[in-house]
Amino acid sequence: MTLTSERAEYRVCPVTQFKVDLQSEALIKVNAVAAVVALTIGGIAAILIALTRWEAVGLLPPEWFYRLLTVHGTNMLIFWIVFFEMAGLYFGATILLDARLPKPAVGWLAFGLMVVGALFVEITALTGNSTVMFTAYEPLGSNEASPLFYLGLILFAVGALVAVGLFFATVVMARVEKTYEGSLPLVTYGLVVAAIIATYTLLSGAVALVPPFLRTIGIIEHVDPAFYRNFFWSFGHPAQQINLAAMVAIWYAMGVMTVGGSPVSEKLSRFAFILYVLFINLGSAHHLLVDPGLSFGFKTFNTSYGMYLAVLGSMIHAFSIPAMLEVAQRRRGFTNGLFEWLRKLPWREPGFAALAVSMFVFGWIGGVTGVTMGTEQIDMVAHNTLRVPGHFHAAVVGGTTLAFMGFTYYVIPLVFRKRVKFLKLATWQPYLFGLGISLVAVGMITAGIQGVPRRTADIDVVREVPGTVHLSLAVVGIGALIAFTALCMYLAVVLASVFTGPRVEATSLALVQPMEPVPAAAEGSHVAPKGTFVIVLVFLAFFAAFYLANWWMLGRTWFVS
């Protein structure tokens, strides 16, 4: 049964046998290109501001530091990530479901709104007409932000909402037209979760940003700054939880594409995604923990995601994904000891390298530090110090951005139908990027523990700081240089592959190190993921040690209540 009389044109992917709607494919391409453009702008800003915070270098004057910090935040946290997610949504709803895209014109409208919105923000930010940071805390923007800045953000959010609506319509239509059998694939399921979170996130963003916009054009006079903070963070933090859900979906996809196998328990993995939908938005209260006006009960319930159930969701994925790989490897015959399966993974395959490094940096650095400083009382020794960007650089850059980068290496042959060039660079890039970002994050976290504020052009002008602070900031600068080098490697691979060379059809999923298929005879046999169990226990021990050390640190400071 078809719902409308529209016809779609398809090609069939020779490697995966998926049907590819050509309109959807075109939308995937333009959104991916816009994402990479935003990543490039944000990346150039990143290296300049990192070399300013490295006090020994002190590259930029304060005015340019704050200006480019605004550019960096908006490009990286909004434009790069959301454009890429839109590409991911089209991929999950059409290609993975063998479905067509209803009303492609709506997709183009959404893309147009997002591009126009992003341009408004880029222009006002780069010309110094909205140096208010990504957060634009009220009433800072009343003098310092142009109406176009707010309008740009609103148009971008509306465009993204339209695209999310089209995604839901596509998934429903695929169901009605029976383009796939049984349940949704787990990757698409994860993307549905990302889209649900995106819907209420983007609506909150509109509620937060419309009043300041109306104020800048003179329709209303006053915006309550605390009200703004609450709604802004219902947009600002969950916007990164859309990434989280999309990133986890992509982790599963990259695991299957580079190693093979299937989720050990579809039931549990889906349950973990449901926990995200139900609880993750509460986490936006992390930003309000030391704000006036809110009660202990409000802060604790929200910051704990209602008893840390969203954290439980992440800890389930932290087991399920390595377990999926371990089971596939053991069925291949790598059964010696606890970790032979681990050594025999395709470490030279770019997608697998990105998956492994992304999971490590996200969990061990980003996750652990985020949960710790999101604890109500501990936030008093962390709020607005460099610990905060330390946490989210590990989570969003080391985690999400690296996962998305790894995934693009497979989008190039399968969607752009070009041969990936410079494969050696692609193999090394995830490791180098992970190393650089880990240094950035650890440098920021150690500086933050010593009280260094975030978003500050120069800390030496107002107080003398110990040498260990300068050491931490130097680690940030060196890490940023390494990560920037890896970003350039990524851009070189992507640009050279996409814009040069003839169109070729892909012949296999793997780029560098193909794995033997899992023997059909072993499918369904019971295999215990013992190695994974050991890894997650070590992770938990590290988590607990870091968490408890922070309570100890808090207990030694001045009394406050």
Partner 1 sequence: MYPPAEVWWRPIDRLERSWVIIAFVWALVLTAMMPLWFVVGKQNVPVTTYRTTPERFRETVEAFAAEHQVGERAGIPVVAPPPGGDAYVYAQRFSFYPILQLEKGEEYRIHVSSLDVQHGFSIQPVNLNFQIVPTYEYVITLTPTESGEFQVVCNEYCGLGHHVMTGTILVNE
408 binds partner 1 (CB under 8 A): no
Of 167 and 251, which CB lies nearer to partner 1 in the complex structure? 251
Round to whole Å and give the CA distance between 206 and 211. Answer: 9
| Of the candidates 25, 56, 43, 158, the residue with the CA atom closest to the CA atom of residue 476 | 56
Footprint of partner 1 on residues 214-233 (CB under 8 A)? 224-226, 229
Task: Calculate ∠ Cα 349-351-355, nearest 5°.
Answer: 115
Buried (b) or exposed (e) across 118-131, using 16+ Cβ within 10 A?
Answer: bebbbebbeeebbb
Footprint of partner 1 on residues 160-179 (CB under 8 A)? none
Is residue 35 within 8 Å of residue 401, measured between CB atoms?
no
Q: Which of 133, 357, 441, 511 binds partner 1 (CB under 8 A)?
A: 133
Footprint of partner 1 on residues 85-124 (CB under 8 A)? 96
Of 135 and 240, which CB lies nearer to partner 1 in the complex structure? 135
Footprint of partner 1 on residues 269-288 (CB under 8 A)? 288
Quote the least distance from Cβ 261 to partner 1, whole Å.
Answer: 11
| 498, burial (CB in 10 Å: exposed 0-12, middle 13-18, buried 19+) | buried
| 316, burial (CB in 10 Å: exposed 0-12, middle 13-18, buried 19+) | middle
Footprint of partner 1 on residues 138-157 (CB under 8 A)? 138-140, 144
Residue with tokens 């006036």: 292
CB under 8 Å, gap of 24 or more: what pairs does 523-530 form? 523/331, 525/331, 527/326, 527/327, 527/330, 527/331, 529/264, 529/319, 529/322, 529/323, 529/326, 529/327, 529/330, 530/338
Footprint of partner 1 on residues 187-216 (CB under 8 A)? 187
362 binds partner 1 (CB under 8 A): no
Quote the least distance from Cβ 451 to partner 1, whole Å.
Answer: 4
Residues 6+ apart with CB under 8 A from 168: 192, 195
- What residues does 145 pair with on adjacent strands? 130
267 binds partner 1 (CB under 8 A): yes
Quote the least distance from Cβ 282 to partner 1, whole Å.
Answer: 12
Q: What would the x/- binding string for partner 1 be over residues 49 to 68, using CB under 8 A?
A: -------------xx--x--
Of 239 and 371, which CB lies nearer to partner 1 in the complex structure? 371
The enclosing H or E element of 304 equals: none
Q: What would the x/- binding string for partner 1 be over residues 467 to 486, using CB under 8 A?
A: --------------------
Of 358 and 385, which CB lies nearer to partner 1 in the complex structure? 385
Quote the least distance from Cβ 377 to partner 1, whole Å.
Answer: 5
Buried (b) or exposed (e) across 47-63, using 16+ Cβ within 10 A?
Answer: bbbbbbbbeeeeebeee
Q: Which of 467, 502, 517, 555 binds partner 1 (CB under 8 A)?
A: 555
- The span of 26-34, 77-85, 106-114, 523-531 binding partner 1 (CB under 8 A) equals 523-531
The enclosing H or E element of 472 equals: helix 467-499
User: What phi and psi values does residue 21 have, to the nearest 5 degrees?
Assistant: -70, 125
Task: Calculate ∠ Cα 392-75-143, nearest 5°.
Answer: 100
- The span of 152-160, 348-356, 377-385, 437-445 binding partner 1 (CB under 8 A) equals 377-385
Quote the least distance from Cβ 134 to partner 1, whole Å.
Answer: 10
Of 113 and 192, which CB lies nearer to partner 1 in the complex structure? 192
40 binds partner 1 (CB under 8 A): no
Q: What would the x/- binding string for partner 1 be over residues 290 to 329, using CB under 8 A?
A: xxxxxxx--xx---x--xxx-xx--xx--xx--x------
Of 281 and 438, which CB lies nearer to partner 1 in the complex structure? 281
